[in-house]
Structure 1
Amino acid sequence: MLITGAELADGRVRDVRVRDGEFLAVESGIEPEAGERVVDARGRTMLPGAVDVHVHFREPGGSHKETWTTGSRAAAAGGVTTVVDQPNTSPPTVDGDAFAEKAALADGNALVDYGLNGGVTAEWDPDALFDAPLLALGEVFLADSTGEMGIDADLFAEAVAAAAEHDVPVTVHAEDATLFDDEAMEGDLGGIGRAADADRWSAYRTATAEAVAVERAIETGIEAGGRIHVAHTSTPEGIDAVAEAAADGAPVTCEVTPHHLFLSRADAGRLGTYGRMNPPLRSTERRQAVFERLRDGTVDVVATDHAPHTVAEKEQGLAAAPSGVPGVETMLPLLLASVRQGDLPLERVRDVTAANPAAIFGLDRKGRIEAGRDADFVLVDLATSREIEAGALHSKARWTPFEGWRGVFPELTVRRGDVVYERDPVTGSESFGAAEGRNVRER
């Protein structure tokens, strides 16, 4: 395959040849070869395929919410060519058997490449997990009140130390449940769907609970000599704690989600229980501060925490509705819409969605458009956006908190040289490639 006249994120216009799943050449004036597919990319921007290091594709145990087929189709249609699935499935991915079960489900069903995070519970088996092609430890909670993946501080320290021995980064969900405001959840919680006062969830899971937990995770990581990656940081205080520690030499990074970048407590009335997520939506002022830290380079990664649930599940009362929103298909389009509006530099989007996550998680063949790396890329037309409509998305959830927003969607998504998604910009017709994604740790 030869892509001609593509503009890269840094403004250079280049021809790009792909062969045997790799970028063979990135330069000017490449001539087509006989029988080679040529893609005329004049007027299009070429970006490395996004690496979403935080998704929940729900299998095993939750296939009514999402599957590897539907989740990876949504990823491909959104320009994501590599995902990292989190461990809170059923059974949770905490031992070798559970890891093998999940890997078998992904094999032959995933359109995009994938990593599988392991998790930590009182029953976890670090030896079995580290013998598997493990990408990272996955979500590790600092307080035992956030579900079956929650652990206490002692077990967290043990997990970080074990990961440090194997040079594996630990992805941390940092909220300290001892600092939640229980009074915010008192009274009637039976409201349904959009009529529910989801803002109470934000009042309950306080910003302080996150900031304190981030600092504690960093301290534990430093003491154990481990690498800490703080997931879905939702407050400027949490981001700043990571940045300050990193400036002092600590191996710590953070990610933010599109919903914490673009949505706030001001959206609670519109979203109702559809807006319940962990961490919750923050104030408009905090949201703006988080976005500014994305713009100025303080934030390392944007990842989606793609957590689909059915409409019926979300339209329960506030106490019963599960937390989480879908987002793997809309992350890159929303960020590119911000580029189009002049709110973000294109190179920042390239770095936080591809180059940085690939580097942090040791994916040396991913994240950059360079000769010798995997040919993962997308082509987009930054001059054109379209309205986000749930019915046009590919997640099994069939809803989005960004209904009616504008996004710049890919026209072409390529994973290791194979087209996995293509959309005709004139007719809107779509096609998907073969489900030949593979585990990034299996070479």
Structure 2
Amino acid sequence: MSTLFRDARLADGRVRDVRTDSGTIVEVADSADADAVDRVVDAAERLLLPGAIDAHVHFREPGHSQKETWTTGSRSAAAGGVTTVVDQPNTTPPTTTGDAFDEKASLAAESYVDYGINGGVTPDWEPDSLFERPLFALGEVFLADSTGDMGIDADLFADAVERAADAGVVVTVHAEDADLFDETARERDAGGVGRDADADVWSQYRRAAAEEAAVERAVEVGADTGAPIHIAHTSTPEGVDAAVAGGATCEATPHHLFLSREDATELGTFGRMNPPLRSEERRAGLWQRLVDGDVDIVATDHAPHTVDEKEADLWNAPSGVPGVETMLPLLLERARQGEISYERVRDVTATNAAEIFDLPQKGRIAEGYDADLVLVDPENATEIRGSELHSKCGWTPFEGMTGVFPDLTLVRGDVVYDGAEIVGAQAGVNVRK
């Protein structure tokens, strides 16, 4: 449908009419003609933003549909104003071969929002078959063994970055050096930690120094090969500073921006993620770097698990929290409170990601761009409740916090969320096709 948003307030404060047709923004003007438009939306100076791009999600298919599916994950994205997601490769099987990519792509056809698929690196990856596909970027690559199924050693990391440079794709790096983890934390907690115990031990174990060192190594390899390096989920000011110094881009997650080790005991195993929560001082420093422009994008690392899975003891519970539906609402609430500008929210959730990952049709409200649009009332703040969100896992680490949720979400001109329900077709497309 063609749509006219009458009197919409853009992130920079201008009030404009925005007209879409055939999935594209065709006019941004002081006053647009409503003739022959299928639908007119009276924005009444509500805020109109480009749809958010979440460059780091784990929608869990194939292999772990009890946690999330492309259908449920994309519903959650749409209800939170996210119109494009990038899925990471640590599924079962991992997206390290062409066949695995094709299997995931067939499942992603059930998405309500547009998507990219990252390929990953393991000792048995198949770069030739993987790079033949419409790859979004290289993927979430670890710097050392023992960090999970996607873990690789330094030599393989360097080889992967060199191949990525030749292929002209961005390398997204999970920067933690497992050699610097504090094994004495395990020894101090030999009996295992339950949800009601001192869950802060996870932050003691995966200490901040492991991130900074890994970022420095990653940007050094990137400089040697000429590959663009993007640091995933930087959780410390030191990690951000190392990325900036090395010429890499970086992202921060909502859980590292809004939660700290002071929340660890209350969250218990539901607050276990990689990298872990950091001190309140480091959280505040990370937030300031976001406001100041050193953090390029906010991405959620949306990694849902079932309640039963998370209720294991700390050393056996899986890492990760959901977040795709609450990222933009949490940031908009901080903008409502005057802690960050709406322009900065627009940039870190949409514009910058489109530039980093070369999506020339996404991330802006301008003529010729995809009509990925989110209409919100900045004053309509509500309490976040996990039971009311759309992720299959049914919980959130941000329970009880305040967010500003969309009144409308459009993907390429079609409404997918109307402020109350998911509507429309599962018509998301691979942005690399």
Under TM normalisation by the shorter chain, which class is it? Answer: over 0.9
Using the alignment, how far apart are the partners of 2:130 and 2:244 within structure 1?
Answer: 30
8 Å contact from structure 1 (residues 196, 318) kept in 2: no
Secondary structure of 1:328's aligned partner: coil
Between the two proteins, what is the percent identity of the paired residues? 66
| 8 Å Cα contact 1:196/1:317 also seen in 2 | no
- The runs of at least 4 aligned residues of structure 1 exceeding 4 Å deviation read none
C-alpha distance in structure 2 between counterparts of 1:256 and 1:308, whole Å: 18
User: Which structure 2 residues correspond to residues 231-242 of structure 1 after superposition, within 5 A?
Assistant: 231-242=232-243
| 1:254 counterpart residue number | 250
Q: What is the one-letter code of the residue matched to 2:88?
A: Q
Q: Which residue of 1 aligns with 2:385?
A: 389
What is the aligned counterpart of 1:60 among 52, 62, 66? 62
Amino acid at match of 1:201: W
Relative to 1, partners in 2 of residues 1:311 and 1:331: Cα closer, same or farther, differing over 3 Å? same
Letter in 2 for 1:432: V
Task: Give the corresponding residue for 1:78.
Answer: 80
Q: Counterpart amino acid of 2:333? A: A
* Equivalent pair of 2:75/2:422 in contact (CA under 8 Å): no
CA distance in 1, matches of 2:191, 2:378: 44
The code of the aligned residue for 2:236 comes to: T
For 2:309 and 2:423, how far apart are their aligned partners in 1?
29
Alignment check: 8 A CA contact 2:362 2:370 kept: yes
Q: Which amino acid aligns with 1:305?
A: D
Q: Tell me, what secondary structure is at the counterpart of 1:74?
A: helix
Aligned counterpart for 1:304 among listed residues 296, 300, 303: 300
Cα-Cα RMSD: 0.9
Structure 2: how far apart are the matches of 1:239 and 1:78?
26
Instruction: Work out whether 1:172 is the aligned partner of 2:173.
Output: yes
Aligned residue for 1:43?
Answer: 45
Q: What is the deviation of 1:243? A: 1.3
Match of 1:158 in 2: 159
Over 3 Å counting, the alpha-carbon distance change for 1:173 and 1:13 in structure 2 is same
Per the alignment, residue 272 of structure 2 pairs with: 276
Paired with 1:35 and 1:332, the residues of 2 have a C-alpha distance of: 29
- Write the distance in 1 (CA, Å) between the matches of 2:327 and 2:24: 25
How far apart are 1:198 and its partner, in Å?
Answer: 1.5
Q: Distance in 2 between matches of 1:189 and 1:434?
A: 50
Q: Whole-Å Cα distance in 1 between the matches of residues 298 and 355 of structure 2?
A: 13
Structure 1 CA distance for aligned equivalents of residues 145 and 283 of structure 2? 27
Deviations 1:369-403 (A, max 9, x none): 11111100100000110000011100001000000
Partner of 2:245: 244
Aligned to 1:333: 329
Q: Is the 8 A contact 1:21 1:416 kept in 2?
A: yes
1:141 pairs with 2:132: no
- 1:298-328 deviation per Cα after TM superposition (whole angstroms, max 9, x unaligned): 1101000000000000000011100000000
Per-residue deviation at 1:123? 0.7
Task: Give per-residue Cα distances to partners, 1:212-252, cap 9 Å, x unaligned.
Answer: 00000000010111110000000100100111222xxxxx1
Q: CA deviation at 1:35?
A: 5.3
Does 1:433 find its partner at 2:421?
no
Partner of 1:416: 412
> What corresponds to 1:223 in structure 2?
224
The alpha carbon displacement at 1:283 in A equals 0.3
Deviation string 1:76-112 (CA, Å, 9 cap, x unpaired) is 00000000000000000000000000000011x1000
Checking the alignment, whether the CA contact within 8 Å between 1:137 and 1:169 is kept in structure 2 is yes
Alignment partner of 1:398 is 2:394:
yes
Which amino acid is 1:21 matched to?
G
Offset at residue 421 of structure 1 (A): 0.5
Aligned to 1:352: 348
- Residue 431 (structure 1) shift: 3.6
The 5-angstrom pairing of residues 181-196 of structure 1 reads 181-186=182-187, 187-193=189-195, 195-196=196-197
The alpha-carbon deviation at position 43 of structure 1 amounts to: 3.0
Contact 1:84–1:116 (Cα < 8 Å) also in 2: yes
Partner in structure 2 of residue 3 of structure 1: 5
Give the one of 3, 28, 31 matched to 1:29: 31
Instruction: Report deviation, 1:201.
Output: 0.2
TM-score by length of 1: 0.96
C-alpha displacement at 1:36, in angstroms? Answer: 1.8
Any conservation in 2 of the 1:189–1:317 contact (CA below 8 Å)? no
Please list every run of 5 or more consecutive structure 1 residues that lacks an aligned counterpart in the other structure: 247-251, 424-428
CA distance in 2, matches of 1:440, 1:197: 43
Is the 8 Å Cα contact of residues 15 and 45 (structure 2) preserved in structure 1?
no
| One-letter amino acid of the counterpart of residue 394, structure 1 | H
Among residues 286, 293, 296, which one is paired with 1:290 in the alignment? 286
Q: CA separation in 2, counterparts of 1:433 and 1:351?
A: 27
Letter in 2 for 1:286: R
> Deviation string for 1:150-194 (max 9, x for gaps)?
00000000000000001100000000000000111223444433x
Residue type of the alignment partner of 1:192? G
**Contact between 2:193 and 2:199, CA under 8 Å: does it hold in 1?**
no
